[in-house]
Structure 1
Amino acid sequence: MKPDALDCSFEGSARPGAPRVLAIPIPAQPGPPEATRAAARLLARAALAEALGAWLGCGAAAITISSERGQAPKATLTRAAPGDAALAATLAATDLSISHSAGLALVAWHPGGAVGVDVQAVAEAPQDPAERQRLATLYLGQNFMPNQATAQEGRAQTATTLIAFLETWSAHEARLKCLGEPLQEWTPGLAARLAACQARTLTLPAALTANGRARRVAAVAWRTAGLL
């Protein structure tokens, strides 16, 4: 099944050297939740192969995307024809990232260096302000701004704070993926490493957010090869 892939934009996405990000709707599958997660993995990798094949002019069938659990995806050639050495080298230097949440997969690739992408469903986020504050203090650092609020009054303020938390959290997760680091408690050393990555909030395609569809917050992070 060929995936429906839609471009995601972000501040600076049109500049040379910026990563590319695609959003792929994931239809719910019959059976246990693992069936939908399996479909997400397949569709995300198919979308990456299609995009990379179009970019390199070799077609999706010439590209294989790895699917090892706990490992960032890698792209390799499925063939070994004469003249493919340059394509293989380009793929080896192109970093990939995938994220799934609530019926959506995001895929990103960056020919110029490392990349990480993350998406969070608002409905699946911690709704309790105290729990968000605990997570922010533990993983995002004492200076995370919503930590400073001692009270939250009214639905509007609560919603605003929730979105601010998710935007910061998704950017943090994207930076971790860009570095190849697991989720871990905040330290000054980790903060210094994360600062090497640019991060931007993604604007998801309107088709994925219209008509009351599940709201999501997403981010992409990257750094150039010279900073690796």
Structure 2
Amino acid sequence: MPEEYTEEQTRDVFADLHTTMLTRVRPPGTEEAMRTVRSRRRTAVAMVAAGVGTVLAGGIAFAGLGGVDRSAPPPAAHPSRPVLSDAELDRLYAAAQAKLGIPSVLDNRQRREEGKDVVAFFGGGPLKAGNGGHVGGGSNMNKTGEYTLDVLCVGEGTVEVHFWTAAQGQHGPAPATTGPTSTRLRVACSADPAPSTATLRAASLKHLAYVALEPDEVAFGRSAVAHLTRYP
């Protein structure tokens, strides 16, 4: 005849079983690991379109373009807010380009004649999946080592913009700290934004400038960014 358990012993058996199953399903340290993953996702470089501008008749020669790192997953859109369609995001990007003054054809020779800075590269795009990574560029005609970034965001939310200089092929991820050759801007998205600007001086004339964007969960799927890097 099976042994009968008291009510207290039955509760103890089920408590032991519950603990054993939790250990198997959720090993120790899972919560800490998930916090680490979430932290890395927040700090990962994300959401920069890989395209850069075509430069005509300006005598500019690109020293090289930084490779696009698409290993970092994009942030998830805010669950309580609907995301925009691709067509709507493209319209926001067109508005961002127009607001920043990025022409369809860029003539740096004409810009020089007008007393304007030479454009090293420009880019951006709708903040959606597939536009991850960072972009960099430079010119062998830049004899100052100085780069200035203009950036704005049309839509909702905020975007953390990473801007730094480094040797081609040795740029790595965006630096975690700011300094003479790296900085960060927190750019608010809106329907009529004003450009945010930052200037850096490269440690070497052979170093390139790099830009990476990290949108928050509100901006992702609801905004577009345009950026332009220039030098005197």
Q: TM-score, normalised by structure 1?
A: 0.31
Question: If you compute each CA radius of gyration, which structure gives the higher value, 1 or 2?
Answer: 2
Q: TM-score, normalised by structure 2?
A: 0.30
Structure number with higher strand proportion: 2
- Return the structure number with greater relative CO, CA threshold 8 A, min gap 6: 2
